[in-house]
Structure 1
Amino acid sequence: MSTTLDSSGLSSTCLVILDRDGVINHDSDAYIKSLEEWVPYPSAIDAIAQLTQAGYTVAVATNQSGIARGYYDEATLHSMHSRLTAMVEAKGGRIAHIAYCPHGPDDQCCCRKPLPGLLLQIQHQLGMESLTGSWMVGDSLRDLQAGEAVGCRSVLVRTGKGEKTLANHTDLENTLVYSDLAAFSDWLCQQQ
């Protein structure tokens, strides 16, 4: 597969987009409502650093409907993302952009996954012409659908809601499945 650099100088095949809850940190059906409840998988922080050090650009696309539901505010969300960024940077990694949807499922927005709006925000922010060939890593079908809508390659991790997603959907033949983000990162970095 040929690699074409777009006007930003970033190859779409070198972009890895991550869902947050269930991929980077523990998820909760009661929502992650505070900095204290935001508990990262240590291996995920290391994986993001590993990807960065291997030359990949890492971004995050996350639905955060708890804001619309009144469970927490954007300042709380920003504190979680500041901690995430600091932890990744302390390991020698970098997150290029975090895109989040603060809307609820009935808000008729264009950014809530499975719609591709968050990924398009990342594309715009990074100055890329296309996301075709980028990686979308998630633990739910909506993550994979958002990625597929813009030409991303799909990766499902078994953490978070991943096992449930795998059990409920038998049509994931074009999706790579890994135990967690670290396992995917190890595999991807070995492909270079």
Structure 2
Amino acid sequence: MTRFPRLLLLDRDGVLNEDRPASVRHRDDLALIPEAIAALAAYSRSGRAVALVTNQGILGRGHVSKAEFCAIQTKLITAIAAAGGRLVSVHIAPDARDGLSDRRKPGPGMLLEAMRQHRVSPAETLFIGDAVTDAEAAQAAAVAFRLVLTGKGRASAIARPELPAFATLAEALADLGASA
């Protein structure tokens, strides 16, 4: 990875918003992590591309309607924009866990799709997530990875102590030249 990746990939739940045991099923369930939104906005204001890559099996299992899911995503994107940031693309794997495809993390599909779309190589890409499946997807896509200790991050750090871990998204981005 270059010191200043051309493409930053972020997981959603547990990174940008609080991870919910029953998932985020309604826009009112989306509790943003203000420091993470500010860090994402500062990074994107630096002129670098940020894309979201998120498993959302609640769609595949029918636990949330497409309309409500769009409302949840709109709330997130609006908050990012209000902070002065933006996402260049959003990649969603709606597969239920029992219907795994290579797009659903730990598969690399969404990461590869984002890199193709934005014409960047794995060496120019960094993925930040909170789960072991995020780390496995990064490894499968040959992309650098950083773990945040929010969401599932603390349990993931125990399971995979070799992963580079940071307390927050702001800390994970600090040496990349963007701060909130």
**TM-score, normalised to structure 1's length?**
0.86
Q: For each residue in 1:63-105, what CA deviation from the matched residue of structure 2 results, as whole angstroms up to 9, or x when unmatched?
A: 0001122210222222111111111111211100110110112
Q: Distance in 1 between matches of 2:157 and 2:100?
A: 27
Identical amino acids, percent of aligned pairs: 31
Query: Matches of residues 1-192 of structure 1 in structure 2 within 5 Å?
Result: 13-126=5-118, 128-170=119-161, 172=162, 175-189=163-177
Secondary structure of 1:185's counterpart equals helix
The one-letter code matched in structure 2 to 1:146 is: A
| TM-aligned CA deviation for residue 129 of structure 1 | 4.8
- Higher share of residues assigned helix: 2
Q: 2: CA distance between counterparts of 1:142 and 1:31? A: 16
Q: Which has the higher contact order (CA 8 A, sep 6+)?
A: 2
For structure 1, list consecutive stretches of 5 or more residues without a partner in the other structure.
4-11
Q: Distance in 1 between matches of 2:74 and 2:63?
A: 19
CA contact (8 A) 1:45 1:91 kept: yes
The letter for the 2-side match of 1:132 is A
Q: CA RMSD in A?
A: 2.0
Extract structure 1 runs of 4+ deviating beyond 3 A: none
> What is the aligned residue count?
179
